């Protein structure tokens, strides 16, 4: 199975997965009124609509692995990973998942690379950095889902609420969650702007 991640990932009409019935020119079948469908049988009048769980099972075949360890860093954007367990979403698709609290991003990266985690909550650039060997050994890594975008912020302590101009930040110490993340890049850009 290949993926079509070089297209527009924000277009709801384009699937990023290339599976039977995905609707791309290579495949048979497609979408009818936004519903997933089975490929047309010869002589059939119109495709038969599938429920989402049927479509997942038919489109992906049998599960490669049912027992999964999924790591998360305990922050707000991990909520879908955490809450999928008590809400029964994992078991609905035949998965037995252990959701494991992780101390930080470097630990999530290392446990993923060591194959202790089957999947993990990560910052968006982490799979790319891991694939390139930036900050770790190079290991091809796939990012199948993006939970949020453009939610980053550079925040200052309340004692500095009057310092809105980055020129006033000289001498400040900033913490960044990951070397190859937006906070680090934005901070470097802001702090190196000419006067």
**Mean pLDDT of the chain, nearest integer:** 74
pLDDT-wise least confident of 45-54, 59-68, 74-83, 178-187: 45-54
pLDDT at residue 180 is higher than 80: no
More confident residue, 75 or 100: 100
Nearest to 112 by CA among 160, 56, 70: 70
Q: Which residues touch 84 (CB under 8 Å, ≥6 apart)?
A: 90, 97, 99
Q: What is the pTM of this model?
A: 0.57
- For 68-78, what is each residue's pLDDT tens digit? 999 999 988 88
Please give the structure tokens belonging to residue 95. Answer: 């998965």
Nearest to 142 by CA among 154, 131, 156, 157: 131
**In the prediction, which pLDDT does 136 show?**
84
């Amino acid at each position: 199975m290949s993926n079509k991640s070089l297209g527009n990932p924000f277009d709801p009409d384009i699937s990023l997965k290339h599976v039977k019935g995905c609707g791309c020119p290579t495949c048979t079948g497609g979408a009818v009124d936004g519903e997933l469908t089975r490929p047309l049988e010869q002589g059939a009048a119109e495709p038969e609509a599938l429920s989402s769980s049927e479509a997942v099972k038919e489109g992906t075949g049998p599960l490669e692995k049912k027992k999964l360890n999924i790591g998360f860093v305990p922050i707000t954007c991990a909520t879908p990973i955490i809450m999928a367990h008590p809400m029964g979403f994992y078991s609905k698709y035949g998965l037995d998942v252990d959701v494991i609290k992780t101390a930080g991003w470097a630990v999530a990266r290392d446990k993923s690379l060591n194959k202790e985690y089957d999947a993990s909550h990560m910052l968006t650039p982490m799979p790319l950095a891991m694939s390139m060997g930036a900050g770790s050994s190079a290991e091809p890594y796939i990012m199948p889902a993006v939970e949020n975008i453009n939610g980053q912020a550079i925040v200052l302590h309340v004692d500095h609420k009057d310092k809105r101009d980055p020129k006033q930040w000289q001498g400040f110490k900033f913490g960044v969650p990951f070397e190859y993340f937006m906070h680090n890049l934005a901070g470097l850009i802001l702090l190196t702007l000419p006067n």
